[in-house]
Amino acid sequence: MSETSSPNRISPEFSDSIQFSYSPSMSLPENISPVEENRLLQTIPCLKQALLEERSKFEYISNSLIKSDEERRFLAAENESLAFRNEQLLKKVESLQESLKETKKIIDEKKKTFKLGLFGKNKKKNLMTNKNDDNVSLDPSLLEEELSFRVNENENLQRKIDILENEIENSQKLTNDRIKVLETKNQSLEKNLNECLKEKEILKMKLKCFNNERNSSDNIRPKISIEKESSSSNNTFDSPLILEVIEGTDTTDSEESFEKKDFGEILKLSKNVTELYQHFFILLNNRTSIYPRDSQLEKLTPSLTNLSTILKDIINNFEKWNMLSNSFKDVNDFVEANIHDTIFESLKKLFLELGPSLKDCINEENKENYCTPNLQRHNENFVERTNELLNIIIQQSTITSLFNCDNKSTKLLSFLDGIKTSTKQISDEFVNKILIENRLPTANKKLKTINDDISKILIGIVDHLTKLEIHIVNRKKCINILPSPIQPLTKKNKAEEDDDNCIDNIDDDINNENEEFSKSIQNLKAIIYKLQVENSILKRKIPFNNDNFDFKQIDLMYIQKFKEIIRKSEYFKSCTRFYKNKVNLKYLDRAVFVA
């Protein structure tokens, strides 16, 4: 910068005038002429302006110097970081070179041992090859290519890890919701079990009291057997009898209460079946994203995407069905609501689309290289059996007409029998299919677990359908006569018949007894009828081949009821295990990708 332009330097000619401008109290020299004085006064504002400009330039230059200094420091720090990174990369390159050398040495040693065993030694050639390999390993272009390949591979792995993390979060949410639902169901089942155990203890106490009173009354009054009543009881050997007697109520009230209980039990059993079918379709949908093509590694075909959308719609309809199954009190409410018919119609439409889409997917699967002829045959049989099941459901007009248990139980039984047989055939064909499929090299752990769960669920569907059929066959149809509630299915001797029919003979024996014992006999009769009602309500739910008025059969009833509750709890536990295993498998896949 020149002396005239610098703000700190001022020419000596104008020093006095500048001092005069800033200090007006000072006077000018006496030897200055007025012309020169006027000229000096005129130059003062110009000098002021020049001084201000120089100052602004100086400030601008100082700021630019500060910025350039900051940039220099930033670049120096960046240079240091780049140098440190370069050193790290050099160390990595050296480690890679060493690992390559070690692997090449191992390969060369193996080749030497192999050649020595076949052709003998050749030291010169080995030395030349080792030198050439060292020169190749030090080639920077190959190292750059390898580094770029590793960088791209790391980026792809990072993307897959992000995708898996999102999937794991979604699956965790679903599993937590499902576990909560299953825990609530398990708690309700435990409550029912405790109530049943309490009822069992109460019945045991009542039966003990009844036996004590009966023994005391038998010692006082003679035993009388009536042939008419025995013949009436013998006529009912071939039909299981279920009593619904409540003191102080009419037969119409008992019939209505029985119909409500019967309809509620049918709704519960049918809900169990529909929940299993819903879980079956959920597993099929999960299977489409894994086999024959994994959605994480490659895009799904349009036929598979179409199949997954249809299965999702079916699952949503089953979810609506199961949510609405507990909102009805009797058959009339069920028929008037007419909600299940609309859901059933939408399911039929989806089943019409499901058949051809499933067939297209199986045809694509059969075209794969790994698909053997036996697997193709089992795939075709599986599709045929599923189409049979879908046709049985599609041919049914409405679903509310089947729940009219008094008039159309035969139609309901035939419908359930058709569904059960077709589901059993599907289960058999699917087992034959997965026996070959699980042995393929493309089958991973996820596919094997899903296949096993599907086979278990199909077996559970058949089991629950048989329970529903048994309940419909053994339900109460009419209540007119009150014979002995315990009727064996095989004939008994006379002594057992007298013991069974003594309850009905009490009315004829009252006239022959003394007045002192009439009240006690009536009380005994009331206790007996109460025990008949409670015992028959328990026996109505479970069919028996030999029904005897005995403690052992009551124990058997409670054992069977307890087994049913345990089966349900085991099913819910297996569902929770399935979802937990699914989450664990995703965590394992994530760990493998990270490694």
Q: What is the pLDDT of residue 327?
A: 62
In angstroms, rounded to a whole number, what is the distance separating the alpha carbons of residues 498 and 505? 9
Share of the chain above pLDDT 90, in %: 8
Angle, vertex CA 459, rays to CA 457 and CA 465, nearest 5: 100
In angstroms, rounded to a whole number, what is the distance separating the alpha carbons of residues 300 and 445? 20
Average pLDDT over all residues of the chain: 71
pLDDT in tens, 256-304: 666 667 777 777 888 888 888 988 999 988 888 887 777 666 778 888 8
Q: What is the pLDDT of residue 402?
A: 66
Residue with tokens 């307890």: 562
pLDDT band at 59 (very low <50, low <70, confident <90, very high): very high
Sign of CA dihedral 28, 30, 32, 33: positive
pLDDT in tens, 248-259: 334 444 556 666
Query: CA gyration radius for the chain?
Result: 47
Angle, vertex CA 93, rays to CA 87 and CA 96, nearest 5: 145
In angstroms, rounded to a whole number, what is the distance separating the alpha carbons of residues 241 and 229? 16
pLDDT in tens, 8-44: 444 444 444 444 444 444 455 666 788 888 888 888 8
What is the value of pTM for the model shown? 0.41
Q: What is the pLDDT of residue 182?
A: 84
Q: What is the pLDDT of residue 408?
A: 45
Q: What is the pLDDT of residue 248?
A: 37
Q: What is the mean pLDDT of residues 118-140?
A: 51
In angstroms, rounded to a whole number, what is the distance separating the alpha carbons of residues 390 and 158? 44
pLDDT band at 311 (very low <50, low <70, confident <90, very high): very high
Query: Is the pLDDT reported for residue 542 higher than 70?
Result: no
Q: What is the pLDDT of residue 399?
A: 75
Higher pLDDT, 418 or 572: 418
Q: What is the pLDDT of residue 52?
A: 92
Cβ proximity of 66 and 15 under 8 Å? no
In angstroms, rounded to a whole number, what is the distance separating the alpha carbons of residues 507 and 521? 9
Cis check: omega of the bond before 292, within 30 degrees of 0: yes
φ/ψ region of 371 (left if φ > 0, alpha if ψ in -120 to 50, else beta) reads: beta
Q: What is the pLDDT of residue 139?
A: 67
Query: Is the pLDDT reported for residue 228 higher than 70?
Result: no
- Within 8 A by CB and 6+ apart from 369, the residues are none
Q: What is the mean pLDDT of residues 426-446?
A: 86
Query: Is the pLDDT reported for residue 127 higher than 70?
Result: no
Tokens of 246: 């409540």
Angstrom distances, CA of residue 257 to CA of 253, 265, 269, 471: 6, 12, 18, 17
pLDDT band at 411 (very low <50, low <70, confident <90, very high): confident
Query: Is the pLDDT reported for residue 383 higher than 80?
Result: yes
Q: What is the mean pLDDT of residues 345-368?
A: 88
Q: What is the mean pLDDT of residues 415-437?
A: 88
pLDDT band at 547 (very low <50, low <70, confident <90, very high): very low
Query: Is the pLDDT reported for residue 200 higher than 70?
Result: yes
Query: Is the pLDDT reported for residue 61 higher than 90?
Result: yes
Query: Is the pLDDT reported for residue 415 higher than 80?
Result: yes
Q: What is the pLDDT of residue 145?
A: 78
Higher pLDDT, 300 or 349: 349
pLDDT band at 235 (very low <50, low <70, confident <90, very high): very low
Q: What is the pLDDT of residue 107?
A: 81
Query: Is the pLDDT reported for residue 245 higher than 60?
Result: no
pLDDT band at 116 (very low <50, low <70, confident <90, very high): low
Q: What is the mean pLDDT of residues 376-405?
A: 83
Tokens of 171: 């699956």
Q: What is the pLDDT of residue 4?
A: 42
Higher pLDDT, 182 or 225: 182
pLDDT band at 115 (very low <50, low <70, confident <90, very high): low
Higher pLDDT, 352 or 479: 352
Q: What kind and span of H or E run contains 208?
A: helix 140-220
Q: What is the pLDDT of residue 58?
A: 93
pLDDT in tens, 133-167: 555 445 677 777 778 888 888 888 888 888 888 88
Query: Is the pLDDT reported for residue 508 higher than 50?
Result: no
Q: What is the pLDDT of residue 433?
A: 87
Q: HEC states along 50-94?
A: HHHHHHHHHHHHHHHHHHHHHHHHHHHHHHHHHHHHHHHHHHHHH
Q: What is the mean pLDDT of residues 436-456?
A: 85
Q: What is the mean pLDDT of residues 379-395?
A: 90
In angstroms, rounded to a whole number, what is the distance separating the alpha carbons of residues 211 and 216? 9
Cβ proximity of 535 and 242 under 8 Å? no
In angstroms, rounded to a whole number, what is the distance separating the alpha carbons of residues 487 and 546? 8
pLDDT band at 123 (very low <50, low <70, confident <90, very high): very low
Distance of alpha carbon 589 from the chain centroid: 18
Q: What is the mean pLDDT of residues 515-532?
A: 53
In angstroms, rounded to a whole number, what is the distance separating the alpha carbons of residues 42 and 286? 96
pLDDT in tens, 314-323: 998 888 888 7
Which of 70, 412, 116 is closest to 270 using CA atoms? 412
